[in-house]
């Protein structure tokens, strides 16, 4: 057996041991643990993944396994989470590779640190905890996209902010050199040096400039410490913006075989990406089936998988779904009477008589119920987002007939208020004068009982849809409605959507 074959055999044995240990602790990972192949790759000094394989340097794996076997367990799961959240496929959407890499690593490590399994345990440093607290305070939910945009507006050296740099698609590390040069050139100028000299770092290493109104900035030293703290794998195998450019350049050439290879490659990547999304859905379902006590060990993984895999249907699609077609009194320039047209041609030869129809068919909403959860479980910020979304719906007068029948019901554990709107013009007034009523427990059933009463009284004769803005924590009705019912949940926030009956529609809004 050659040395190369011995290395591969030993490497496969180590990775199989890693997968076995992860599977024994986290059975729900079974669908993901069987996806990646194991391949030796000397182009990396550590280990990484391209979504199809784990690509590793034997020297790194052997050394790490001897010194700290649990680090390989964590690294493997770290890579699996990158795949399940499809970070490697989204890398091409973001201009700065290093910034996206760190954002993804922090998002994944935050999930791993919330999980309670000995096989991946790592002592959390003060630096980690401080940054988790800071990012959660700013972003609420730590997704890679949100962390990336946070870095975009906070990374800087001296007075030269990353977001103000004129160079595009240049890596973060390359830009840092230009920052240093610019800062040194400005040393003789008091305008440039004041900020550097008076910068004060807080406990997270974020500097605050001495000038009032300046944004807090991340120092270069802190950035390097964050990279060292959160980096576990090599992201060099990810699909990058440069890869897209190379493909476009190759496609400019009249090489049919090359273009066919490119199409097949993209189709294969899309197929693999979809497979990872399906894998994430299966794991989310398996975690949910563990029960409350056992699923707590998985930490925030269930929540982030749920947010990642949810089929996000937005309220505008729902409005189109419940719209009806009927005639509306208004000039329809796209239609006219062909009888008059022909009569004009016969009498005058070349002068048709055209008269537009005074009625036109419109696809709009005539009756709608919008319910807003004003219970204590909904934070003031969440209620405000509901209000903004409701106002947005009401302002879209093009979706409503001139004569409408919209009920806006505010409810906690009972109906607190019912605002009736009959004309689109009244919608703006409601949006301006809204005041929250309620603030007690959550029960969705009173709204449905109230709507049933309105229908029995003949006040809602043609109701086709009800939208309920809520965080989802409450008592749902058991019986399905004969009109479309949608519960609207905030995106990227813990909610009670799991308890929602399967006959209702699940919608999302940005939070």
In the block, tokens 């040096």 appear at 193
pTM, 2 dp = 0.62
Contact 29, 23 (CB under 8 A): yes
CATH class of 315-328+364-509: alpha beta
Helical segments of 218-336, H only: 220-230, 241-251, 256-288, 292-295, 301-309, 315-322
In the chain, where are the structural domains located?
3-242+256-309, 315-328+364-509
N-to-C CA span, the chain: 59
Q: Helix, strand, coil % (nearest 5) of the chain?
A: 55, 20, 30
| CA–CA gap between residue 261 and residue 311 (Å, rounded) | 31
pLDDT band at 118 (very low <50, low <70, confident <90, very high): very high
What integer pLDDT is reported at residue 256 of this predicted model?
58
Contact 428, 461 (CB under 8 A): no
231-235, 253-257, 445-449, range with the lowest pLDDT: 253-257
pLDDT digits (tens, 9 = 90+) for 484-506: 888 888 766 667 777 888 888 88
What integer pLDDT is reported at residue 76 of this predicted model?
96
| CA–CA gap between residue 415 and residue 10 (Å, rounded) | 67
Tell me phi and psi for residue 346, to 5 degrees. Answer: -75, -40
Find which of 125-134, 215-224, 310-319, 436-445 is predicted with most confidence, using mean pLDDT: 125-134
Helical segments of 68-118, H only: 69-84, 87-90, 97-114
pLDDT digits (tens, 9 = 90+) for 354-376: 665 554 444 456 678 888 888 87
Find which of 197-211, 261-275, 346-360 is predicted with most confidence, using mean pLDDT: 261-275
How do 206-208 and 200-201 pair as beta strands? Answer: antiparallel
């Amino acid at each position: 057996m050659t040395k190369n074959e011995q290395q591969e055999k030993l490497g496969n044995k180590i990775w199989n041991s890693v997968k076995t240990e992860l599977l024994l602790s986290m059975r729900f990972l079974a669908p993901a643990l069987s996806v990646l192949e194991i391949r030796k790759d000397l182009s990396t000094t550590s280990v990484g993944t391209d979504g199809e394989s784990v690509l590793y340097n034997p020297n790194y794996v052997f050394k790490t396994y001897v010194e700290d076997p649990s680090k390989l367990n964590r690294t493997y799961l770290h890579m699996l989470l990158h795949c399940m959240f499809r970070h490697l496929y989204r890398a091409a959407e973001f201009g700065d590779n290093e910034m996206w890499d760190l954002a993804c690593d922090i998002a994944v490590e935050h999930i791993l640190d919330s999980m309670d399994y000995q096989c991946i345990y790592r002592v959390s440093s003060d630096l980690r905890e401080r940054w988790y607290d800071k990012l959660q305070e700013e972003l609420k939910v730590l997704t890679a996209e949100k962390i990336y945009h946070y870095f975009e507006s906070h990374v800087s050296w001296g007075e030269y902010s990353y977001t103000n740099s004129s160079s595009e698609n240049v890596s973060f590390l390359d830009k840092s050199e230009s920052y240093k040069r610019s800062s040194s050139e400005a040393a003789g100028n008091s305008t440039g040096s004041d900020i550097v000299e008076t910068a004060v770092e807080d406990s997270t290493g974020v500097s605050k400039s001495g000038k009032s109104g300046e944004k807090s900035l991340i120092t270069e030293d802190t950035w390097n410490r964050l990279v060292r703290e959160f980096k576990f794998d090599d992201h060099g195998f990810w699909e990058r913006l440069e890869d897209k450019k190379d493909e476009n350049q190759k496609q400019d050439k009249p090489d049919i075989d090359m273009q066919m290879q490119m199409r097949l490659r993209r189709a294969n990547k899309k197929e693999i990406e979809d497979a990872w999304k399906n894998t994430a859905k299966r794991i989310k379902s398996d975690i949910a089936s563990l029960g409350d006590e056992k699923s707590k060990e998985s930490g925030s993984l269930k929540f982030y998988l749920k947010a990642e895999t949810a089929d996000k249907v937005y309220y505008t699609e729902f409005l189109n779904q419940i719209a009806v077609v009927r005639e509306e009194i208004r000039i329809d320039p796209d239609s006219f009477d062909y009888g008059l047209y022909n009569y004009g041609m016969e009498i005058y030869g070349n002068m048709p008589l055209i008269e537009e129809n005074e009625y036109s068919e419109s696809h709009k909403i005539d009756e709608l119920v919008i319910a807003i959860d004003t219970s204590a479980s909904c934070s003031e910020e969440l209620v405000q987002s509901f209000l903004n979304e409701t106002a947005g719906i009401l302002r879209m007068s093009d979706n409503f007939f001139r004569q409408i029948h919209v009920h806006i019901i505010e409810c906690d554990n009972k109906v607190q208020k019912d605002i009736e709107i009959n004309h689109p013009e009244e919608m703006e007034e409601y949006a301006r004068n809204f005041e929250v009523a309620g603030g007690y427990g959550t029960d969705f059933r009173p709204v449905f009982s109230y709507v049933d009463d309105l229908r029995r009284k003949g006040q809602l004769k043609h109701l086709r849809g009800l939208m309920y803005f809520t965080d989802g924590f409450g008592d749902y009705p058991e019986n399905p409605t004969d009109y479309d019912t949608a519960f609207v949940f905030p995106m990227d926030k813990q909610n009670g959507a799991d308890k929602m009956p399967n006959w209702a529609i699940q919608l999302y809004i940005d939070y």
